[in-house]
Amino acid sequence: MHAPFWLTTALLSPVLLYQGKRARRVIPRLPEAVGEPCGQHGDGTADFRLLVIGESTAAGVGVETHEQGLASQLALRLHQRTGKSIAWHTFGVNGIRLGDLNQQLAVAELPVADVVLLSMGVNDTTGFTPRSRFLQQLRQLRVFLAPDYPAPLRLLSVPPMHLFTAMPAPLRQMMGWRARQLDRIYQQLAQRAPHDFSYLGYPAVTDTTLLALDGFHPGENGYRMIAEALAEASWPGLSE
Protein backbone atom coordinates (compact mmCIF):
# COMPACT_ATOMS: atom_id res chain seq x y z
CA MET A 1 0.00 0.00 0.00
CA HIS A 2 1.33 3.44 -0.94
CA ALA A 3 0.11 5.41 2.09
CA PRO A 4 0.97 8.99 0.96
CA PHE A 5 -0.91 8.52 -2.32
CA TRP A 6 -4.02 7.03 -0.73
CA LEU A 7 -4.05 9.59 2.09
CA THR A 8 -3.85 12.45 -0.40
CA THR A 9 -6.54 10.82 -2.53
CA ALA A 10 -8.83 10.49 0.48
CA LEU A 11 -8.33 14.12 1.48
CA LEU A 12 -9.04 15.34 -2.05
CA SER A 13 -11.77 12.79 -2.81
CA PRO A 14 -14.70 15.29 -3.00
CA VAL A 15 -12.81 17.43 -5.51
CA LEU A 16 -11.46 14.43 -7.46
CA LEU A 17 -14.89 12.83 -7.76
CA TYR A 18 -16.43 16.07 -9.02
CA GLN A 19 -13.63 16.71 -11.49
CA GLY A 20 -13.62 13.10 -12.69
CA LYS A 21 -17.36 13.14 -13.42
CA ARG A 22 -17.10 16.49 -15.16
CA ALA A 23 -14.12 15.36 -17.24
CA ARG A 24 -16.13 12.37 -18.49
CA ARG A 25 -18.89 14.74 -19.56
CA VAL A 26 -16.82 17.39 -21.30
CA ILE A 27 -13.98 15.37 -22.88
CA PRO A 28 -15.27 14.03 -26.22
CA ARG A 29 -15.33 10.25 -26.44
CA LEU A 30 -13.70 9.37 -29.74
CA PRO A 31 -14.34 6.09 -31.57
CA GLU A 32 -11.83 3.34 -32.21
CA ALA A 33 -10.10 3.32 -35.58
CA VAL A 34 -11.75 1.45 -38.42
CA GLY A 35 -10.37 -0.64 -41.26
CA GLU A 36 -8.19 -3.74 -41.22
CA PRO A 37 -6.24 -4.06 -37.94
CA CYS A 38 -3.29 -5.53 -39.80
CA GLY A 39 -1.04 -4.91 -42.75
CA GLN A 40 2.54 -4.92 -43.99
CA HIS A 41 5.13 -2.38 -45.02
CA GLY A 42 7.43 -3.87 -47.63
CA ASP A 43 7.02 -6.63 -50.18
CA GLY A 44 7.18 -10.38 -50.01
CA THR A 45 7.25 -12.57 -46.94
CA ALA A 46 7.54 -10.51 -43.76
CA ASP A 47 10.99 -10.40 -42.22
CA PHE A 48 9.61 -9.22 -38.88
CA ARG A 49 6.12 -9.43 -37.36
CA LEU A 50 4.86 -6.89 -34.84
CA LEU A 51 1.82 -7.36 -32.59
CA VAL A 52 0.49 -4.44 -30.52
CA ILE A 53 -2.07 -5.16 -27.78
CA GLY A 54 -3.70 -2.94 -25.22
CA GLU A 55 -6.16 -0.13 -24.61
CA SER A 56 -7.15 2.95 -26.64
CA THR A 57 -3.76 3.50 -28.24
CA ALA A 58 -3.78 -0.06 -29.59
CA ALA A 59 -7.39 0.48 -30.68
CA GLY A 60 -6.37 3.56 -32.68
CA VAL A 61 -8.46 6.08 -30.79
CA GLY A 62 -7.58 9.52 -32.15
CA VAL A 63 -7.23 8.52 -35.79
CA GLU A 64 -9.68 7.33 -38.42
CA THR A 65 -8.00 4.13 -39.59
CA HIS A 66 -5.58 1.58 -38.15
CA GLU A 67 -3.16 2.47 -40.95
CA GLN A 68 -2.68 5.79 -39.12
CA GLY A 69 -2.33 4.16 -35.70
CA LEU A 70 0.58 3.07 -33.58
CA ALA A 71 1.20 -0.45 -34.91
CA SER A 72 1.19 0.58 -38.57
CA GLN A 73 3.22 3.73 -37.96
CA LEU A 74 5.83 1.81 -35.96
CA ALA A 75 6.04 -0.92 -38.59
CA LEU A 76 6.50 1.73 -41.27
CA ARG A 77 9.36 3.39 -39.37
CA LEU A 78 11.07 0.03 -38.82
CA HIS A 79 10.69 -0.75 -42.53
CA GLN A 80 12.17 2.62 -43.48
CA ARG A 81 15.10 2.20 -41.08
CA THR A 82 15.99 -1.37 -42.03
CA GLY A 83 14.60 -1.95 -45.52
CA LYS A 84 12.98 -5.13 -44.19
CA SER A 85 9.35 -6.10 -44.73
CA ILE A 86 7.46 -5.54 -41.49
CA ALA A 87 4.03 -7.06 -40.83
CA TRP A 88 1.86 -5.52 -38.16
CA HIS A 89 -1.30 -6.41 -36.28
CA THR A 90 -3.09 -4.52 -33.52
CA PHE A 91 -5.59 -5.72 -30.93
CA GLY A 92 -6.97 -3.02 -28.66
CA VAL A 93 -10.12 -2.12 -26.76
CA ASN A 94 -10.94 1.43 -25.76
CA GLY A 95 -11.44 1.85 -22.01
CA ILE A 96 -10.23 -1.63 -21.05
CA ARG A 97 -8.18 -2.53 -17.99
CA LEU A 98 -5.46 -5.15 -17.94
CA GLY A 99 -7.49 -7.86 -16.21
CA ASP A 100 -10.25 -7.60 -18.80
CA LEU A 101 -7.72 -7.49 -21.62
CA ASN A 102 -6.24 -10.76 -20.38
CA GLN A 103 -9.70 -12.35 -20.54
CA GLN A 104 -10.29 -11.11 -24.08
CA LEU A 105 -6.89 -12.26 -25.29
CA ALA A 106 -7.61 -15.74 -23.97
CA VAL A 107 -10.34 -16.17 -26.60
CA ALA A 108 -8.89 -13.97 -29.35
CA GLU A 109 -7.25 -15.31 -32.49
CA LEU A 110 -3.86 -13.66 -32.40
CA PRO A 111 -1.37 -13.89 -35.25
CA VAL A 112 2.16 -15.21 -35.09
CA ALA A 113 4.56 -12.41 -34.14
CA ASP A 114 8.22 -11.90 -33.37
CA VAL A 115 7.51 -9.29 -30.72
CA VAL A 116 4.49 -8.18 -28.70
CA LEU A 117 4.16 -4.57 -27.55
CA LEU A 118 1.78 -3.85 -24.65
CA SER A 119 0.22 -0.38 -24.50
CA MET A 120 -1.69 -0.18 -21.20
CA GLY A 121 -1.95 1.74 -17.97
CA VAL A 122 -4.26 4.73 -18.44
CA ASN A 123 -7.48 2.91 -17.55
CA ASP A 124 -5.83 1.04 -14.70
CA THR A 125 -4.65 4.44 -13.47
CA THR A 126 -8.06 6.08 -13.61
CA GLY A 127 -9.68 2.93 -12.23
CA PHE A 128 -7.22 2.78 -9.30
CA THR A 129 -6.24 -0.83 -9.97
CA PRO A 130 -4.16 -1.93 -6.96
CA ARG A 131 -0.50 -2.18 -7.80
CA SER A 132 -0.28 -5.76 -6.53
CA ARG A 133 -3.14 -6.78 -8.82
CA PHE A 134 -1.62 -4.94 -11.78
CA LEU A 135 1.68 -6.75 -11.22
CA GLN A 136 -0.08 -10.09 -10.93
CA GLN A 137 -2.02 -9.47 -14.15
CA LEU A 138 1.17 -8.56 -16.00
CA ARG A 139 2.75 -11.83 -14.91
CA GLN A 140 -0.38 -13.73 -15.93
CA LEU A 141 -0.26 -12.10 -19.35
CA ARG A 142 3.37 -13.08 -19.79
CA VAL A 143 2.65 -16.71 -18.86
CA PHE A 144 -0.25 -16.78 -21.32
CA LEU A 145 1.86 -15.35 -24.16
CA ALA A 146 5.04 -17.31 -23.45
CA PRO A 147 4.31 -20.50 -25.45
CA ASP A 148 3.57 -18.64 -28.69
CA TYR A 149 5.60 -15.47 -28.12
CA PRO A 150 8.86 -16.40 -26.36
CA ALA A 151 10.52 -12.99 -26.87
CA PRO A 152 10.26 -10.56 -23.93
CA LEU A 153 6.96 -8.71 -23.72
CA ARG A 154 7.72 -5.07 -24.52
CA LEU A 155 6.05 -2.69 -22.07
CA LEU A 156 5.27 0.73 -23.50
CA SER A 157 5.61 3.31 -20.73
CA VAL A 158 2.43 4.51 -19.04
CA PRO A 159 1.65 8.00 -20.37
CA PRO A 160 2.59 10.89 -18.01
CA MET A 161 -0.96 11.80 -17.10
CA HIS A 162 0.10 14.84 -15.07
CA LEU A 163 0.71 16.46 -18.48
CA PHE A 164 -2.80 15.71 -19.77
CA THR A 165 -4.11 19.27 -19.82
CA ALA A 166 -7.58 18.05 -20.83
CA MET A 167 -7.95 17.18 -17.13
CA PRO A 168 -8.05 19.92 -14.46
CA ALA A 169 -5.83 20.19 -11.42
CA PRO A 170 -5.56 18.52 -8.91
CA LEU A 171 -7.10 15.54 -10.76
CA ARG A 172 -4.35 15.73 -13.37
CA GLN A 173 -1.59 15.65 -10.76
CA MET A 174 -3.14 12.73 -8.87
CA MET A 175 -3.57 10.70 -12.03
CA GLY A 176 0.02 11.49 -12.95
CA TRP A 177 1.18 10.31 -9.54
CA ARG A 178 -0.70 7.04 -9.94
CA ALA A 179 0.52 6.56 -13.53
CA ARG A 180 4.12 6.89 -12.35
CA GLN A 181 3.52 4.16 -9.77
CA LEU A 182 2.30 1.74 -12.44
CA ASP A 183 5.13 2.74 -14.75
CA ARG A 184 7.64 1.88 -12.03
CA ILE A 185 6.18 -1.62 -11.95
CA TYR A 186 6.99 -1.87 -15.66
CA GLN A 187 10.55 -0.72 -15.10
CA GLN A 188 11.11 -3.04 -12.14
CA LEU A 189 9.81 -6.04 -14.09
CA ALA A 190 12.14 -5.24 -16.98
CA GLN A 191 15.08 -4.99 -14.58
CA ARG A 192 14.30 -8.13 -12.59
CA ALA A 193 13.06 -10.40 -15.39
CA PRO A 194 14.72 -9.23 -18.64
CA HIS A 195 14.00 -12.54 -20.35
CA ASP A 196 10.28 -11.96 -19.85
CA PHE A 197 9.85 -8.18 -20.04
CA SER A 198 11.51 -5.14 -21.58
CA TYR A 199 10.63 -1.49 -21.07
CA LEU A 200 10.16 1.09 -23.83
CA GLY A 201 9.89 4.74 -22.95
CA TYR A 202 9.06 7.59 -25.31
CA PRO A 203 8.86 11.40 -25.11
CA ALA A 204 5.60 12.79 -23.77
CA VAL A 205 3.17 14.10 -26.35
CA THR A 206 2.76 17.65 -25.04
CA ASP A 207 2.40 19.58 -28.28
CA THR A 208 -1.35 20.13 -28.65
CA THR A 209 -1.01 19.97 -32.44
CA LEU A 210 -0.08 16.30 -32.04
CA LEU A 211 -3.25 15.47 -30.12
CA ALA A 212 -6.66 14.37 -31.34
CA LEU A 213 -9.81 16.48 -30.97
CA ASP A 214 -10.33 15.30 -27.39
CA GLY A 215 -7.00 16.79 -26.30
CA PHE A 216 -6.30 13.45 -24.63
CA HIS A 217 -5.27 10.88 -27.24
CA PRO A 218 -2.57 11.22 -29.89
CA GLY A 219 -3.69 12.26 -33.34
CA GLU A 220 -2.07 10.95 -36.50
CA ASN A 221 1.00 13.15 -36.02
CA GLY A 222 1.15 12.11 -32.37
CA TYR A 223 1.21 8.42 -33.23
CA ARG A 224 3.84 9.19 -35.85
CA MET A 225 6.00 10.93 -33.24
CA ILE A 226 5.68 8.01 -30.81
CA ALA A 227 6.49 5.54 -33.58
CA GLU A 228 9.60 7.47 -34.61
CA ALA A 229 10.85 7.47 -31.01
CA LEU A 230 10.16 3.75 -30.52
CA ALA A 231 11.79 2.82 -33.82
CA GLU A 232 15.09 4.15 -32.49
CA ALA A 233 15.13 1.48 -29.78
CA SER A 234 16.84 -1.88 -30.19
CA TRP A 235 14.58 -4.51 -31.74
CA PRO A 236 16.13 -7.97 -31.23
CA GLY A 237 15.49 -10.17 -34.23
CA LEU A 238 15.48 -7.21 -36.58
CA SER A 239 18.99 -6.34 -37.70
CA GLU A 240 19.45 -3.33 -39.94
Q: CA 39 to CA 69: how far, in whole Å?
A: 12
Task: Give the global pTM.
Answer: 0.94
Is 60 exceeded by the pLDDT of residue 1? no
Give pLDDT, residue 240: 53
Percent of the chain with pLDDT over 90: 75
pLDDT band at 239 (very low <50, low <70, confident <90, very high): low
pLDDT tens, residue by residue, 146-163: 999 999 999 999 999 888
Question: Are the beta carbons of 198 and 154 closer than 8 angstroms?
Answer: yes
- Residue 114, C-beta contacts closer than 8 angstroms, at least 6 positions apart: 48, 49, 50, 151, 237, 238
CATH of region 37-231: 3.40.50.1110
Element (H, E) at 10: helix 3-26
Determine the residue type at 11. Answer: L
pLDDT tens, residue by residue, 169-222: 998 999 999 999 999 999 999 999 999 999 999 988 888 899 999 888 999 999
What is Dmax (Cα atoms) for the chain?
Answer: 59
